[in-house]
Chain A
Amino acid sequence: MAYKTTIEQTVFRFDDLKTLLAKATPERSGDQLAGIAAEGPVERLAAQMALADLPLKSFLGEELISSDDDEVSRLIAERHDPAAFSAVSSLTVGEFREWLLKPETTHDRLEAVTWGLTPEMVAAVSKIMRLQDMIAVSAKRRVVTRFRNTIGLAGRLSTRNQPNHPTDDSRGIIASAIDGLLMGSGDAVIGVNPATDATDDYIRIVSLLDELREKLAIPTQTCCLGHVTTAIHAIERGAPVDLVFQSVAGSEKANRGFGVDLALLKEAHEAGRSLNRGMPGANVMYFETGQGAALSADAHFGVDQQTMEVRAYAVAREFDPLLVNTVVGFIGPEYLFNGKQIIRAGIEDHFCGKLLGLPMGVDVCYTNHADADQEDMDTLLTLLCAANVNFVITVPGADDIMLNYQSLSHHDAVYCRETLKRPPAPEFEQWLSEIGLTDRDGALIGEPAALSNYVRSSALIGA
């Protein structure tokens, strides 16, 4: 079906729904690379106007990628809940935006509509929302998950402590993790991106992190971000696996590029749950996503990168994850060119993930060939805190020496606590105080003996 808008006698025509969505997307280099972006700002506005008039119901009648060819499309269709959708089923995309913004649309109403919304509806409405619109709505939507602590409560911010090391050196990982703990980072997870995908290294890394957590009695969870198949093998060998990690994307073909499909993810989810390491009913999955993943795998089917990203959230929400984050600036300037595009994408991804019921976090980050810097990251972090983001990622001095990109610094977590008044998960907050890292007001006070002694006593780590 074709869509049309007329602006001062000029008729703009969009051949189908995916063209309309692509042309309505705020400017980004990835859609330009794919050759599907609007020609310029006026055509973009014409598409946004046509999109605003489109009934939400249209998305149930026209698939962007056919269910015949794609299991993610099938999943989206199967999981759509008409009863939940009824609250907004009569609205256009433009009216849906207004409904989201109204004060009467409270957290509970947003939660009730979660499974009535498809990724395409959520992506569509985000395309006609400003940053402030998306922040205002996200701030109303809490998604709370649990493993050993409680993540996503209103007014709090958790952090992933990411102690990566270029050769997965055990002492290097511990030093980096301790550096983060000293600044109060690590309540979302202490999670390492391994340099190799060898099962032995995976087991060594999770064992190392588990010992650290256990000895210091930290109410948090640990993770080695290897492939799900490695995690399954490690679980079979009795490794202490808290969270099972996987990168996911928005089409079957793109997921195949990551070496996974829905059946394998289900198997991994069941393996993770079988260990019962968290509290009863704990969420055990951790997913990462990012705009451009499908295009870079040539698996986007002419659909814009932001809509493909939101389709990845349909995959993630199938497995009740503890944590999901977009690695927003990691993929490079051919997908998100500069700070402005990275900031918008970070706010979009968080908003869309939350509306679909995901415990959404963001890796606030950039690479050296993108036109971005620390000030763009300051802006995005501050906006995300206003939007009530579940968690962000921090590394020593904002420099990830394994993945060679800049994420946030542990110092930035301190800024969120002290200036933006965002304490961590309550269980972790209490631990910080008990072990002597923080005073009664939650302010960091230094290096407690328990941590120094741990590092000294583990001088033989990895030996």
Chain B
Amino acid sequence: MAKVIEPSAAEKTLDLREMTDARVSLGRHGAGLPTQAQLSFLLDHARAREAVWTSVDRASLTDRLNRIGLSVIGVDSMAPDRSIYVRRPDLGRLLAPESTERLKQAGTGKGYDVAIVVADGLSSSAVDLNAVPLIEALSPKLTTLNLSAAPIVMANQSRVALGDPAGEALGAKLTIVLVGERPGLSAADSLGAYITYGPKSGNPDSGRNCVSNIRDGGLPIREAAEVIAALVKDMMKTRVSGVALKAAVAKLPPSNV
């Protein structure tokens, strides 16, 4: 009688998981997910929702920034609470009048080169975890470039474009907005950096450069700080940001690159 050769387990079952980070080969019971896969998905969703709906710990962030010698000014957008904020992106882009005044008073008269604005965006976890380390890595690089920096602006219920009126009120030549990105299931703590030369209310998004997915497991803090500093350097030289930046850098005389 011929011997039946059973395929080994490795041959029999595909290892799709080795080929993609997607949730493949989860297994099933009828149409249902295995219990562990179901609960693990729900945990990821819970984390993402928590990132959207909880507030940034402003006191702790301010304290940590003060300890590395940076002063902080808190500002608010025109969105009074989270529930209105997610429905009204337009309000999240506007600076509240009292906040505008506060920033104007903080202006030195001769203005600043750079203003860093920390915006909660859609993920408080991203800001809580990644904003201070990124600023800590970035600040010395700005100093090396001989750029004067405004106090750190900590913006509540804020979208990216709030950096425009904030930078304008401070009299800054350039803003770096560090914003909590819309959380995905696989990562709820991605920070984005949007850099704009000549911040002014009504600037189009095409006038910004973006460095995204800054987090542990994404773009590491140190690399992000390098990329941001390089962009800042190019923008200060060309006085241009956004989609037109590449062409402007190409036009710089070789000695100036």
In the complex, which residues of chain A have a beta carbon less than 8 angstroms from the beta carbon of B172?
none
Q: Are A178 and B16 in contact (CB-based, < 8 A)?
A: yes
B186 at the binding interface (Cβ < 8 Å) = yes
- A393 vs B189: C-alpha distance in the bound complex, in angstroms? 27
**In angstroms, how far is the closest chain B Cβ from the Cβ of A438?**
14
Of chain B, the residue at the smallest CB distance from A180 is: B24
CB contact under 8 A between A176 and B14, given known A32-B87, A399-B41, A411-B28: no
Q: Are B16 and A175 in contact (CB-based, < 8 A)?
A: yes
Chain A: residues with Cβ within 8 Å of the partner, total of 47
The interface residues of chain B, by DSSP majority, are classed as loop
Of chain A, the residue at the smallest CB distance from B23 is: A397
Q: Are B23 and A399 in contact (CB-based, < 8 A)?
A: yes
A418 at the binding interface (Cβ < 8 Å) = yes
**Stretch in A96-104, A275-283, A320-328, A365-373 touching the partner:** A365-373
Q: Are A171 and B20 in contact (CB-based, < 8 A)?
A: yes
Q: Contact residue range for chain B?
A: 35 or more
Q: Are A414 and B26 in contact (CB-based, < 8 A)?
A: no
In the complex, which residues of chain A have a beta carbon less than 8 angstroms from the beta carbon of B51?
368
**Stretch in B29-37, B55-63, B66-74, B127-135 touching the partner:** B29-37
- A107 vs B41: C-alpha distance in the bound complex, in angstroms? 41
For this complex, 25 residue pairs linking A to B, each with C-beta atoms less than 8 Å apart, are: A29-B87, A33-B88, A33-B90, A171-B20, A175-B16, A175-B19, A175-B22, A178-B14, A179-B24, A334-B89, A368-B48, A368-B183, A396-B23, A396-B24, A397-B22, A398-B41, A399-B23, A399-B186, A405-B184, A409-B33, A414-B31, A415-B30, A447-B13, A452-B13, A455-B14
List B residues at the A interface (Cβ < 8 Å).
Answer: 11-14, 16-17, 19-26, 28, 30-33, 37, 41-42, 44-45, 48-49, 51-52, 86-90, 122, 182-186, 188
Q: A178-B24, A334-B88, A368-B51 are in contact. List 18 more A-B contacts (CB 8 A).
A: A32-B87, A33-B89, A33-B90, A169-B20, A172-B21, A175-B24, A176-B22, A178-B16, A179-B24, A334-B87, A368-B49, A397-B37, A399-B44, A401-B21, A414-B30, A418-B30, A447-B13, A451-B14
List A residues at the B interface (Cβ < 8 Å).
Answer: 29, 32-33, 163-166, 169, 171-176, 178-179, 183, 333-334, 337, 367-369, 373-374, 395-399, 401, 404-406, 409, 411-412, 414-415, 417-419, 447, 451-452, 455-456
The 8 closest A-B pairs by CB, nearest first: A397-B23, A175-B19, A415-B31, A404-B184, A172-B20, A368-B48, A414-B31, A179-B24
